[in-house]
Every structure is written in structure tokens, then in C-alpha cells.
Amino acid sequence: MNGAEAPRRPDDDGEPELVLSPSETVAHNSAMRIAGARRGPTSTQKALASIVLGFELFIVALFGLTIFGLSALEPRELGLVLGGGLGVAILIALVSMRRGRFGILVGWVVHVLMLLTAIILPMSLIVSVLFTALWVYCMVRGARIDRDRAAWVAAQGGAA
């Protein structure tokens, strides 16, 4: 076996085994744990949602600081309240991601609110649109992966 070939699984059905690097393994396990993978079936959609919302938490903090720093609202502390409120909404979404679909619903609300920040800070529209597009892609692709996984598990006899 040369360095270009992937290792074969013991059942050797012709498919190369997926080998993750240590950092990829840690990132995958962390995302799945945050999404509640240890409780019940795993959900790729929730894992992807958690990742997007986690990055967005930093962005809304920067939105709030920018609104505060530019004195875009009067009183200027309102920018901090706005950024902090959106941050709390993201934290609620992340915490509730383990329980049903409520976290996903809150995530949609957060994205609408992020898009509305463009009324106060027009340049935030660029970042908000990019994150909303990423959110939509993750929701669609994650749901498809979850459906395909459920179909595969059913075809395997329910074990996996």
C-alpha cells in the first residue's frame, strides 16, 4: 500500500475508511457534544447550527461594539444592549439546541434580527447576509444528511 491509498476497513467493501486528523476528530466530537449527540440520535443539522451560531456570537458582539463606538444610537450604550441582547438570544439557541427544534427556531429569529441591524449599521448587511446564507445551507444540507443517515440505518436493520 503506497501513501496515496486509504486504509481498508475489516469488512473491505471497497470503500476507503474515513480517517480524521486529531484536530478534525476533536472538532467533530465537540460539535456533536454541543449539539446533544450523547442524548439520543445524532443530528448533523444541530451540530452545524451550533457551529454557525457559535461563530455568530462573536459577530454580534462586534456589531454591538461598533454601534456603540460609532454612536449610531442615542444613548450610545443602546448599541451594547443590542449586541448583548442578540448574544443572549444566540446563547439561548445554543443551550436549547439539545431539546427538540426550539434552538433551530431561535436561530432563525437571530438571523432575522441580524439582518435588521442593517437599519442601524448598513455595512452589517454584508456580514448578516453571508451568515444567513451559511445558516440556510447548513439547515438544508444538515437535514439531508440526517435523512440519508436515517434511511441507511433503516436499511441496515436499525443497528448503528
- Between the CA of residue 131 and those of 16, 59, 128, 146, 152, what are the distances in Å? 34, 10, 5, 22, 31
* Per-residue pLDDT reduced to its tens digit, 55-107: 999 999 999 999 999 988 889 899 899 999 999 999 999 999 877 789 999 99
pTM: 0.71
Residue of 113 and 19 predicted with greater confidence: 113
For residue 33, is pLDDT > 80?
Answer: no
* Per-residue pLDDT reduced to its tens digit, 99-135: 778 999 999 999 999 999 999 999 999 999 999 999 9
For residue 6, is pLDDT > 80?
Answer: no
- SS3 labels along the chain: CCCCCCCECCCCCCCECCCCCHHHHHHHHHHHHHCCCCCCCCCHHHHHHHHHHHHHHHHHHHHHHHHHHCCCCCCCCHHHHHHHHHHHHHHHHHHHCCCCCHHHHHHHHHHHHHHHHHHCCCCHHHHHHHHHHHHHHHHHHHHHHHHHHHHHHHHCCCCC
Asked if residue 101 lies in contact with residue 155, where contact means CB atoms within 8 angstroms, the answer is: no
pLDDT band per the 50, 70, 90 thresholds, residue 1? very low
* Per-residue pLDDT reduced to its tens digit, 130-157: 999 999 999 999 999 999 988 888 888 7
